[in-house]
Structures are given as C-alpha cells and as structure tokens.
C-alpha cells in the first residue's frame, strides 16, 4: 500500500491498516482472521490482500474505557525527544503532563547511550477558554518565536491536540510563515487524540512530519555501511551487533539529532526492533528514498535473529560476515540457554505489551522453556505497511513456537486485566506500560517492567530475559503477602466473571 507524503496529515492506523483494540481468542485464530500471510482474504477490506488497506477484523467494543493514552503523547516521545529540536504542544497545559515521565526516559536514554544528559525542550501554548472561542493561532506564532529565541533549535515540531483540532486553527499556515522567517524546519504534526482510537497512530504522525520536512530529498552521498535503526530509548545493543558485519548504526527517532534524521535517506538499509513502531517509517524510506527496509522477522529468539542478520547481510553484501557472527553467537549462548531452561522448567509467564513487541517476547520466553498460555497486546495491526509476509510477526510466532491459547487485544483496561490473569494464573508477567503492574501485584503476581526495550533483543537478549525471570521469581512471596492484605475495587460478580469481554458481548447482543 502506498504511503502519501504529499498531505500534511497521516492516515490513521484504522484507515490504513485496519487496527483494532478489542479481540479475544487464540493467536492462530487472530492470524487467520487478519489474512496477512495466513488464511484467505474473506475478511479483507477494499482491494483485498496484496494491495488493499484496512483489513477487517471483527472487533469487540466495550461500553466504556477506564483509561489509556493518546496519539499526542506518542509524538511527545518521538518529536519531543529529538536532541536539538523543540516541541511545541498547541494544547491546554494539561496535555503536557506526560512530559514529566518522558523527560525521565529521555534523560535515562541519553545516559545509556553516552549522550549529554539534559531535560527535554518543550513549550505549551496553554490554550484556555478564550482561545477556544477566538482561536489560538497568535499564541502558536508567539510560541514558535519564543522557542527559536530561547533554544536556537535545528528544527521546531508542533504537536496539535484535541483542543486545537476542535477550534480549527490553521497550524500549517502558521508553520509555513514561521519557517520562512526563521530558516529552520517548522513541522506541524497532526495528532489530535480523538482522530485515532489507538496511540500508535502518533508514532506515524511524528515520522510523517520528519519524512516530509527533515529527511534529505536528494542525498549528497550514499553511506553503504550505515543502517537506520528505528528504536525507542533502549540501550545500545545494535552497535556491537552490527559492528560484526562492518556496519554503523543510525538510531532514529528518540534521542536522535536533526542531522541524524536528515541522513536517513543516505543509509544502506533500515531495521527495527518492533514493527508496531517501525512499520510506517521503514516503508516510507524505501518507497520515497530508495532505502531498503529489511524484510525479515523481528530479532527475537534464534529463528528471528538469524533471519534478520542473514537478510541484512544479503542486502548490504555482507553474507559471509553475517554467517560467521551467527555461528559465533550460537556457540556462545546455547549452553547458557540450556542452563536457564533447566532452572525455568515448569514456570509460566504472561506478556502484556504492545503488539509486535509481545510476539517477540513470547518467542524469547519459549526459547527459555517458559510456558506462555496467554498474552495481552494493546492493539493489533492486521497487516504492516510493507505488506511483506516476512514481516508478519504473529505468523512467525505461530510457525516457530506454536499457538497461544488466550491471546487478547485490549487497550490497557485494568478491570479486564484481572480476569485475563485469573484464567491463566501465571508465575510472573512482563509489562512495558506499568499502569497494569500494580493490579498484578495485588493478586500476587510479580512483574518485570521492561524499561529497556532492547533487553530481550538478539542472542544476548535471551540470556538477559532468562536472568530477569529468575530474579523476579524470588519476589513471589512478597507479592503473595500483598495479595492477602488488599482488596480489589470491583464487585464480587465481576471478580467471578470468566469472560473479560462480557460487557462488550452484552452490549452487542
């Protein structure tokens, strides 16, 4: 499916990919219904498989939502974490509350990568009641000038909000005029929270702005040893891994500089640790700038990591070096994996993270011999932008590691999470978004919060995750004690409910 960079507004994931946020069943049933690389096209949207978009997967829609995050917050994590840029949030001041957490992640990420540690740079236009009546364009123009005068940034991003979308401010026009005056890119990022039901559209919106206004349209040179790595704040595991192939890493997009973003069009290839995050940017770089996106499984477990390295070696002409590195790492880690499997025999885990990332983590746990009967993914993309079957991360999980009996798509709802955990009764959970971890603790289950997204990646990642599981299991008694002394805020009828989507099914009937 073609990506359109001519329009300033990105298509939402619902429009482009058919993204859903409510589903319950087996992983194999979801893969068949998605018809990405498994099943037929009976449920596909217009155009069907191999050229259409918005695949139709039946979605369970509940009567209410306890809470989630929005696309604008993902723009904070992306555009707001470009090191020499400034993010302006054209919004009420409350929309900037998430910057407290993202500033912490930015500082920690800079430290982990050996970069200068400082705070994020963002400005809020602080839209108020008067602005909702008379408009906030003048405030936005003043904020852009203030951002330039205070920080002398290499670029200025503007994140829209529900409020600015409602009043209809012409953000694009204000940005164009400011860019002409200041001589630096001023980039509107259209990410109103109400436009998309899942926050992952915010990743695409930020990347869309970078592709339109920062990436060099006509690269001065091609850097044949440079690889774009689409990531978040995780530790630098790609540099030593790709160095074995004679390749250099260009990390994008959090923690990047504007110049590092600009040179993406000069790279030899693009890879990602997670196709939820990297689907849009990788596909657009290939379509618009001729930078090959590595069409391979994600680098988790032996099959996924082997396949990604081999494909990267093929694309960059380094097949022999890739094979040598694969053999070297297999010899190094397999004895350690075997020892971990002995220690983890009979242990049961549960994964609650973003979609494609969850597929990878389940693969690693099963490499370690950990039972995984259930998983909660926060959304599901029936297809990724490339539409290449080799990037079908759910199918790769099924074909290499088997089915998952209780595979749930849900938008981080605590009342559902209780029922999900009760039906599989795991010994621990792995979680990325820590809002669900306290509930697990209150029912006696310890959590591994993966603040480092790259912790389980590649060959060493299997060892890392195995050691983390052993460490968290030592805390089971503490969490069981918590469970004996706390009560959950739900009615007895709900605590006895076996179906986490009972309310959605009742509404639909």
Ordered by where they begin, the domains of the chain are: 71-213 (3.40.50.1980), 333-508 (3.40.50.1980)
When pLDDT is averaged across residues 429-453 and rounded to a whole number, the result is 89
Residue 1: pLDDT band (50, 70, 90) is low
pLDDT of residue 450: 87
pLDDT of residue 385: 94
In DSSP terms, 229 is beta-bridged to 251, 271
**133 sits in which H/E element:** helix 129-134
The whole-angstrom separation of Cα 310 and Cα 421 is 38
> Over 50: is that where the pLDDT of 47 sits?
no
User: Do 313 and 391 touch, CB atoms closer than 8 A?
Assistant: no
Residue 507: pLDDT band (50, 70, 90) is confident
**CA separation (Å) from 485 to 336, 414, 440, 443, 488?**
39, 19, 14, 10, 10
Ranges 36-50, 79-93, 193-207, 294-308: which has the least confidence:
36-50
Phi, psi at 125, each rounded to 5°: -75, -10
Q: Residue 129's Cα: distance from chain center in Å?
A: 34
User: Do 233 and 105 touch, CB atoms closer than 8 A?
Assistant: yes
Residue 53: pLDDT band (50, 70, 90) is low
User: Do 466 and 344 touch, CB atoms closer than 8 A?
Assistant: yes
pLDDT of residue 40: 57
Q: What is the DSSP string of 180-220?
A: HHHSS-EEEE---GGG-SSTHHHHHHHHHHHHHHTS-SS-S
Percent over 70 (pLDDT), the chain: 96
> Over 60: is that where the pLDDT of 46 sits?
no
pLDDT of residue 45: 41
When pLDDT is averaged across residues 197-225 and rounded to a whole number, the result is 94
When pLDDT is averaged across residues 170-190 and rounded to a whole number, the result is 97
Query: Which two tokens mark 297?
Result: 């499984």
Packing angle between helix 458-473 and helix 355-367, nearest 10 degrees?
80
> Over 70: is that where the pLDDT of 484 sits?
yes
**CA separation (Å) from 339 to 83, 254, 312?**
42, 36, 30
**CA separation (Å) from 347 to 341, 369, 429?**
10, 8, 11
pLDDT of residue 39: 61
Long-range pairs, 334-340, Cβ under 8 A, ≥24: 336/463, 337/367, 337/368, 337/462, 337/463, 337/466, 340/368, 340/369, 340/462, 340/463, 340/466, 340/467, 340/470
Residue 50: pLDDT band (50, 70, 90) is very low
pTM above 0.85, yes or no: yes
Residues 6+ apart with CB under 8 A from 76: 87, 89, 98, 99, 102, 122, 159
pLDDT digits (tens, 9 = 90+) for 253-275: 899 999 999 999 999 999 999 99
Longest dimension (CA), the chain: 68
Percent over 90 (pLDDT), the chain: 84
When pLDDT is averaged across residues 424-438 and rounded to a whole number, the result is 89
Residue 48: pLDDT band (50, 70, 90) is very low
In DSSP terms, 507 is beta-bridged to none
- Tell which residue, 294, 242, 285, has the closest CA to residue 265: 285
Q: 465-487: b or e for each residue (b if 16 or more CB lie within 10 Å)?
A: bbebbeebbeeeeebeebeeeee
Strand 22-25 with 406-410, pairing: antiparallel
> Over 50: is that where the pLDDT of 190 sits?
yes
Mean pLDDT of all residues in the chain? 93
């Amino acid at each position: 499916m073609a990506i359109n960079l001519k329009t300033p507004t990105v298509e939402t994931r619902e429009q482009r990919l058919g993204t859903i946020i409510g589903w319950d069943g087996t992983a194999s049933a979801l893969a068949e219904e998605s018809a990405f690389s498994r099943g037929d096209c009976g449920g596909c949207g217009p155009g069907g498989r191999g050229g259409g978009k918005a695949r139709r997967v039946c979605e369970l829609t509940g009567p209410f939502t306890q809470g989630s995050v929005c696309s604008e917050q993902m723009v904070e994590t992306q555009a707001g974490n470009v090191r020499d840029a400034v993010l302006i949030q054209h919004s009420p001041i409350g929309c900037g509350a998430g910057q407290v957490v993202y500033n912490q992640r930015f500082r920690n990420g800079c430290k982990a990568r050996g970069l200068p540690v400082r705070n994020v740079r963002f400005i809020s236009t602080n839209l108020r009641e008067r602005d909702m009546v008379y408009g906030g364009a003048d405030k936005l123009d003043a904020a852009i000038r203030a951002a330039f005068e205070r920080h002398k940034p290499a670029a200025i991003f503007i994140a829209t909000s529900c409020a600015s979308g409602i009043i209809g401010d012409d953000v694009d026009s204000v940005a164009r005029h400011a860019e002409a005056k200041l001589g630096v890119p001023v980039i509107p990022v259209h990410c109103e929270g109400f436009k998309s039901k899942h926050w992952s559209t915010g990743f695409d919106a930020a990347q869309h702005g970078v592709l339109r206004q920062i990436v060099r349209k006509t690269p001065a040179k091609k850097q044949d040893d440079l690889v774009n790595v689409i990531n978040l704040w995780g530790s630098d595991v790609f540099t030593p891994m790709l160095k074995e192939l004679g390749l250099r890493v260009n990390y994008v997009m959090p923690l990047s500089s504007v110049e590092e973003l600009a040179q993406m069009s000069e790279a030899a290839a693009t890879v990602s640790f997670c196709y939820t995050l990297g689907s849009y940017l990788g596909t657009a770089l290939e379509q618009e700038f001729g930078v090959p996106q590595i069409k391979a499984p994600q680098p988790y477990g032996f099959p996924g990591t082997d396949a990604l390295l081999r494909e990267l070696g093929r694309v960059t002409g380094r097949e022999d070096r890739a094979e040598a590195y694969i053999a070297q790492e297999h010899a190094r880690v397999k004895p350690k994996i075997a020892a971990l499997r002995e220690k983890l025999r009979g242990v049961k885990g549960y994964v609650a993270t973003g979609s494609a990332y969850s597929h990878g983590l389940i693969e690693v746990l099963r490499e370690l011999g950990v039972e995984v009967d259930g998983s909660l993914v926060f959304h599901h993309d029936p297809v990724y932008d490339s539409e290449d079957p080799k990037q079908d991360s759910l199918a790769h999980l099924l074909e290499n590691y088997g089915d998952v009996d209780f595979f749930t798509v849900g938008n981080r709802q605590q009342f559902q999470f209780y029922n999900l955990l009760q039906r599989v009764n795991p010994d621990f959970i792995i979680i990325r978004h820590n809002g669900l971890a306290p509930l697990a603790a209150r029912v006696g289950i310890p959590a591994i919060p993966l603040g480092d997204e790259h912790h389980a990646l590649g060959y060493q990642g299997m060892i890392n995750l195995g050691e983390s599981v052993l460490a968290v299991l030592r805390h089971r008694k503490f969490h069981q004690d918590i469970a004996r002394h706390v009560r959950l805020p739900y009615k007895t009828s709900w605590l006895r409910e076996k179906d986490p989507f009972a309310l959605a099914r009742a509404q639909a009937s």
